[in-house]
Amino acid sequence: MTFSYDGLFRLATFERRGPRFVAFVRIKDRLVKCHLPNPGRMNEFLGKGTLVLLKKNQGGNFKTPYTVVSVVTKIGSKTAHLINLNTHIPVKWLRNEFQENSAFSFFKEHYFLRSEPKLGKHRLDLLLKDRNGNKIFCEIKSTTKIIDGIGYFPDAVSKRATSQLKTMYEHCISGGFATVLFLVQSPECEFVAPDKTTDPVFDRACQEYKHPNLNHIAFTSTSQFHGNLAYDSDYKGTVSFKLVKEIPVNCFYNTQI
């Protein structure tokens, strides 16, 4: 299934990161402060001069005129290929993927119950139910770091991810069920592994916290923009997302990068 959202968009070039969730971009000759809804480093593809897609902030109490939503990797005639940067999108997108007609068995065999279920001290992303009636806590991990066909998570030290994994493991030991779902923001990936170099604590946790009721699953995806794009003005457009294929998760991959 395809998930999408509409808005007013324009192109810009990335200049630098600011404080948490802040980025500076250039629109023509102007340096503009923007919202960046992603705490990851993203050094592999987001540097000075990178072409990015901005969405105009409308309504609400926004402190910036635009949000940096994607890196633009290729522009065609009224379409553009993207790398999604907005970490709020995967939850909104995937909760709609749980349909009988989904192309993927995981989404066919589970039902979405609600978002942000509480487990221990954490609010996880989704609460699901399988066909046997078991409730399953699901946490979605957006994966943007891809090197030589391997998707690595996280791309910055994440104490929160390690703590979440431990909590899910303890829940499974008590007879519960949990799933970590890695959503790779690219179709070009063969498998996902913990980033041992960036976060060795999370890497060890992935190896230590193993249980039959704790599932790790991953999917590759594509993101595209549909509409006119320019630097000089905001244009109406649509950003769409689609799953491509299921890929393995290797929690014991030992190669450092």
| Whether this model's pTM surpasses 0.95 | no
- Please give the average per-residue pLDDT across 67-96, as a whole number: 93
**Could you write out the three-class secondary structure of the chain?**
CEEEEEEEEEEEEEEEECCCCEEEEEECCEEEEEECCCCCCCCCCCCCCCEEEEEECCCCCCCCCEEEEEEEEEECCCEEEEEECCCCHHHHHHCCCCCCCCCCHHHHCEEEEEECCEECCEECCEEEEECCCCEEEEEEEEECEEECCEEEECCCCCHHHHHHHHHHHHHHHCCCEEEEEEEECCCCCCEEEECCCCCHHHHHHHHHCCCCCEEEEEEEEEEEEEECCCCCCCEEEEEEEEEEEEECECCCCCCCC
pLDDT in tens, 95-129: 999 998 899 999 999 999 999 999 999 999 999 99
Domains of the chain, each with CATH number or no CATH? 2-86+223-242 (2.40.50.580), 89-221 (3.40.1350.60)
pLDDT in tens, 5-40: 999 999 999 999 999 899 999 998 899 999 999 988
